[in-house]
Amino acid sequence: MRVLHLALAFVVALSSINDGVTSASKATLSSDSSDYPALRVSIASDKTNSEERRPIGVFGPVGKGNGGYGKGARKKAVTLPPGTYVGPEFGGYSGREFTDAAFVKSGQKVLSINLRAGERVDAVILTIVKPFGGERTLYHGGDGGDMKNPLTLTEGEYITVMEAHAGDHDGSTRVKYIKFTTNKGNFIEGGTRTDKNGTDTAKEGYQLGGFVGRSGDELDLVSVIWTSIEPVG
């Protein structure tokens, strides 16, 4: 009988321990479950912040009333050659980053500029020659839209103005229209105008020499790298 009482006491104690563990586990699971929404919000916020802080390579001042349509400024210190600077951003932050910083140089010559465009701007294509020779074509964007007739520059002609319009497409801000004008009044344009637009004009003695921005199947974001017409440094 004494053995039976001991066995019953052991079973009761074990049951109490199990109930305690089960209750603790439930409390833990309940706590974890209630934390999941906050955790998801935190992860989403981190991703958003990371995307908003993602640099584009080189950075020019976001123009107030001069473009800068997107989630916020991206800054990353990158050494540019002497006699060059970057203008304001136009567009949004989809696509992949690109920069022509490694290819531009003061005193270079622009041979031509061309566009692919339809309802929006699909690609911008710039052909340059460095001061000591070496032709290079800088292509940013996709292969959609229609290829325009290139604007071929004559002797003493330089691209000095970029006008860009931003707009929504599939929930993201894109470059919807772009126009490049030379010091001789010639221009090339493509896309659809919007009410979100701005103009970037070269400083005296500078010309368009390359680009910084984001692109994928089309042109998402664009800034001009302006280069000195005369060699510097």
- What is d(CA 11, CA 219) in angstroms, rounded to the nearest whole number? 73
Q: Are residue 123 and residue 173 in the same domain, yes or no?
A: yes
Q: Quick one: pLDDT at residue 41? A: 22
Q: Quick one: pLDDT at residue 78? A: 59
Residue pair 135/127 in contact by the 8 Å Cβ criterion = yes
Which residues of the chain are under the pLDDT cut of 70?
1-78
What lies within 8 Å, CB to CB, of 189 at 6+ separation is 115, 163, 177, 178, 179, 180
Q: Into how many domains does the chain fold?
A: 2
What lies within 8 Å, CB to CB, of 125 at 6+ separation is 113, 114, 115, 116, 137, 138, 139, 140, 150
Residue pair 181/201 in contact by the 8 Å Cβ criterion = no
131 within domain boundaries: yes
Over residues 188-233, the pLDDT tens digits come to 999 999 999 999 999 999 999 999 999 999 999 999 999 999 999 8
Q: Are residue 63 and residue 28 in the same domain, yes or no?
A: no
Q: Quick one: pLDDT at residue 133? A: 87
233 within domain boundaries: no
- What is d(CA 207, CA 226) in angstroms, rounded to the nearest whole number? 5
Q: Quick one: pLDDT at residue 61? A: 35
Does this model's pTM top 0.85? My answer is no
**50: helix, strand or coil:** helix
